[in-house]
Structure 1
């Protein structure tokens, strides 16, 4: 646990007080249904925000006469009491810390993660307002300096990447001369670009990777960089449904975190590559392509039906090219053209001539 420089957030206590009456009423009522159960989110899409929760969402009910529900409700109350103590003492804990306070009771980390998300949604406050953090898996490199909440000065312009901070809200004094931010889907591609000195060759720029599906801290960092600097943000993902899904999470958000969309989404993000149309345009060898699986096709069909795709006709066209070809490609397929084709030719040309959508 780490001490924060600011005092307890009054908003948390105010929200908790509003819900206290309904929680107590539910406990006193033999067959009652507390209003603070986990939530099935009802979301809507707005181009300027992404997927965000609507006020008339439906909820998952917790019944006090059901043994399973009683345990779930007890776990919610236990974590609520821990959150209350964290906020009162102005300290922070990670989700892992919460789990290990009673790992036998919680069973597994996923139970804790889901309850914390439910509480955030129920109280309509960001998770950081609960004073709960998560360990970051993302990395950042390039032309960026900042100061962490404990006063540590961080310079990302080094040969090795810097871990994304666990408390994005606490970083300050961000400084950059970067002309753009590049989000890289996979760590392997990110490391290869570092090895090729991409940040130096294309200086000044910033690179970020969430190592696949981004965690909350990586998404918060991208949002903070956008809000602070308003520089162009591009994504480099595999030309497959999974890569497109990851790009959509950065740009439009996810259903699970739609209650925090305003703090997480960056609708200005652009798709730089790898585009399905690039596969034919660059004559990438057919032997490097991979057939779409049934799961891939289902994922692609699902994305095509999402409301935000109607606002992105060029994205739709690229996905239709993928669907028609029934093939996908990883970014690594570019190495068959030359070992440094990605950093030496592909990305510089894309950035120079506006090859994004």
Structure 2
């Protein structure tokens, strides 16, 4: 970082120090709601970090920030009732202000802490994109902001939504569901031709009304749209469909968890019969290493694998030209998945994955169209749901 960047860093620290000295008691304590943390608790956490930085500077020492390591399996334990969760006493990554390789990240963290402090103090919200565009030169990329917001959430032990930083959702939801957004907007997802965007503020959703018999997580947007076009949610029985369009964002995962907590109905996953699809399903069910510190609010341990199962490919005699050979990368991913701690509690999943290893083929959900164009909607899913064809 150049001299100007260092000066900006310490200017930000000084501004935040003055701000917290003048406004420590600005916000009243708030009741916790669904894991929410009071404004005062968050402000106090940030104040303690800045106090540590200022104390180091007063001693002519280089300030250091300590972040839990969010990328190491060594920091993870598995609980079948929760999923992957970060263990207490996890290994720490130190971000030094006097080290060329970390001073930029140190400055980025302090800058975002100052933004969060002002947002919480004023009870206002900003998106991660707003934060990025507040200083594109410092942050360099949107992904840097996204990662640091999660780092701060983990460091403060505060759910990300409590930091007043919102993320634009990429997920879609449709079916027998109505609810109220925090701002009073009523969302009606009951439409055969369109889908609603998943809310950016799941914690603020209230007055959920639904007669759905189950929730169907759909891996791909293309499959989701096909089921929407075929009016799947009303043909068999009322249900709710949701897609995170591939690897799900946090809001899509929070939404599935919210529906499960509120409606107490089964949750099924429809993914490709390949290692990538299986991993996406595992994220919904067991969580991810990077977000393990929030596992209690993101995972849905009851998720069931509805399809596409590797055994379905043989049972249904899916044409060979619709099957795809596993790549070396697929085989590596599959081996990695089979070593995950949660697979020991899922022998049926294990058998399906071992079958994929043996046959060395994978298939997309769309491969069922090789049997009949409407096979997925009119035959495969109805039979699965009626006769219990899931694992």
TM-score (norm 1): 0.95
Whether contact under 8 Å (2:285, 2:302) holds in the other structure is yes
Whether contact under 8 Å (1:233, 1:269) holds in the other structure is yes
After superposition, the Cα gap between the structure-2 partners of 1:155 and 1:31, relative to the gap in structure 1 and judged at 3 Å, is same
Q: Distance in 1 between matches of 2:99 and 2:337?
A: 37
Aligned residue in 2 for 1:258: 292
Larger radius of gyration: 2
After superposing on structure 2, the runs of 4+ consecutive aligned residues of structure 1 that deviate more than 6 Å are: none
Aligned residue in 2 for 1:240: 274
Q: Distance in 2 between matches of 1:328 and 1:296?
A: 9
After superposition, the Cα gap between the structure-2 partners of 1:177 and 1:40, relative to the gap in structure 1 and judged at 3 Å, is closer
Q: Distance in 1 between matches of 2:387 and 2:48?
A: 54
Whether contact under 8 Å (1:31, 1:65) holds in the other structure is no
Post-superposition offset of 1:62: 1.5
Q: Distance in 1 between matches of 2:53 and 2:231?
A: 56
Structure 1 residue 337 corresponds to structure 2 residue 371:
yes
Alpha-carbon deviations, 1:95-122, whole Å to 9, x = none? 0000000112211111111111110010
Q: Aligned with 1:36: secondary structure?
A: strand
Q: Distance in 2 between matches of 1:38 and 1:31?
A: 22
Whether contact under 8 Å (1:38, 1:119) holds in the other structure is no
Aligned residue in 2 for 1:202: 236
Whether contact under 8 Å (1:92, 1:132) holds in the other structure is yes
Whether contact under 8 Å (2:215, 2:268) holds in the other structure is yes
Q: Aligned with 2:237: secondary structure?
A: coil
Q: Distance in 1 between matches of 2:387 and 2:341?
A: 29
Post-superposition offset of 1:72: 1.4
TM-score (norm 2): 0.87
Q: Aligned with 1:68: secondary structure?
A: coil
After superposition, the Cα gap between the structure-2 partners of 1:213 and 1:26, relative to the gap in structure 1 and judged at 3 Å, is farther
Q: Aligned with 1:207: secondary structure?
A: strand
In structure 2, stretches of 5+ residues that fail to align are 1-28, 31-37
Q: Distance in 2 between matches of 1:27 and 1:304?
A: 49
Note the 1:179-198 alignment, pairs <5 A. Answer: 179-198=213-232
Whether contact under 8 Å (1:40, 1:60) holds in the other structure is no
Aligned residue in 1 for 2:159: 126
Post-superposition offset of 1:150: 1.1
After superposition, the Cα gap between the structure-2 partners of 1:44 and 1:25, relative to the gap in structure 1 and judged at 3 Å, is farther
User: Which of 138, 141, 145 lines up with 1:105 in the alignment?
Assistant: 138
Whether contact under 8 Å (1:40, 1:58) holds in the other structure is no
After superposition, the Cα gap between the structure-2 partners of 1:241 and 1:288, relative to the gap in structure 1 and judged at 3 Å, is same
In structure 1, stretches of 5+ residues that fail to align are 1-5
User: Which of 192, 210, 221 lines up with 1:176 in the alignment?
Assistant: 210
Post-superposition offset of 1:27: 4.1
Aligned residue in 2 for 1:323: 357
Alpha-carbon deviations, 1:240-263, whole Å to 9, x = none? 000000000000000000010001
Whether contact under 8 Å (1:30, 1:65) holds in the other structure is no
Post-superposition offset of 1:202: 2.0
After superposition, the Cα gap between the structure-2 partners of 1:197 and 1:21, relative to the gap in structure 1 and judged at 3 Å, is same
Q: Distance in 1 between matches of 2:55 and 2:374?
A: 65
Aligned residue in 1 for 2:129: 96
Q: Aligned with 1:338: secondary structure?
A: coil
Q: Aligned with 2:211: secondary structure?
A: coil
